[in-house]
Amino acid sequence: MSSEGTRALDFIFMLTRQDRTIADCLEVMDLIAPAKLKHIGFKDVGVPPAVLHKLADRIRAAGAVTYMEVVSTTPEACLNSARVAVDLGIDRLLGGTDVEAVQAVIKGTKMEYYPFCGFPSGHPTKLGGRPDQVEQHCRRFIEKGCAGTDLLAYRATAADPLELVKAARRGLGSGKHLIVAGSVATAKQIADLKKAGADAFTIGSAAFDGSYAPDKGHLLSQLAAIQADCTV
């Protein structure tokens, strides 16, 4: 890993609003082609599986890593979403909490798994849990062979978001990937996440509603602003 001053965070653009994949995700993929994004994802809810198949194919055709985040709220629905991810050939599966069950579903694939740490609940998802619990979860994930964790830091209900990031970093150690998802919407948050030890973050709604760079009107301008802030 490069020094803190030059390390860039990975920006994962989520084709989502309010924790759901947007209905016109295929058209948006065509629109954002000039941005040459390297990491693009979506949620397991919002559009039918047939649309997700086309979307995953377009993301791969664009040369980007594919992500799917599971926000289903029942154990069986989460496992069904993992089966969908296998069918889609997703590169990185985010979310869920039943590590062993999900790993059994994706066994034999090259998919990397990043379960939720802490105690996620509801939809849109909120996150319960203390820093020590998040650190403990991350240590267990590594023992079970996960690639890292998906941390809903800015959805926390009982702890400081950055303290959760630091705790997750301690639990994962230096060799595993820490993705912060949900409600990242400002350049300051990106800078804070970088300092606290995150490797990547997701943004969806803040780009689509124009709130990330409120002085700019086009989606491509929002994405350019986010990309620029990843390397500051």
Q: Is 4 inside any structural domain? A: no
Q: Is 214 inside any structural domain? A: yes
Residue 231 pLDDT level (bands cut at 50, 70, 90): confident
Phi, psi of 181 (to 5 degrees): -125, 150
pLDDT 10s digits, 56-88: 999 999 999 999 999 887 889 999 999 999 999
Which pLDDT belongs to residue 1? 35
Residues 83-112 have a mean pLDDT of 97
Which pLDDT belongs to residue 3? 42
Residues 176-195 have a mean pLDDT of 97
Which pLDDT belongs to residue 122? 86
Q: Is 55 inside any structural domain? A: yes
**Are 117 and 168 within 8 A, CB to CB?**
yes
Whole-angstrom CA distances from 93 to 87, 97, 150, 218 are: 12, 12, 9, 29
Mention every residue, 6+ apart, whose C-beta is less than 8 A from residue 1. Answer: 7, 174
- The residue type found at 222 is Q
Q: Is 5 inside any structural domain? A: no
Q: Is 110 inside any structural domain? A: yes
Q: Is 137 inside any structural domain? A: yes
* Total domains, the chain: 1
CATH number for the domain including 200?
Answer: 3.20.20.70
Q: Is 190 inside any structural domain? A: yes
Q: For all residues of the chain together, what is the average pLDDT?
A: 94
Residue 5 pLDDT level (bands cut at 50, 70, 90): very low
pLDDT above 70 covers what percent of the chain?
Answer: 97
Residue 7 pLDDT level (bands cut at 50, 70, 90): low
Which pLDDT belongs to residue 6? 53
Distance CA 160, CA 157 (A): 8
pLDDT 10s digits, 139-184: 999 999 999 999 999 999 999 999 999 999 999 998 899 999 999 9
Q: Which domain holds residue 191?
A: 10-230
Which pLDDT belongs to residue 73? 77
Is the per-residue pLDDT at 49 higher than 60? Answer: yes
pLDDT above 90 covers what percent of the chain?
Answer: 90
Q: Is 87 inside any structural domain? A: yes
- pTM for the whole structure: 0.95
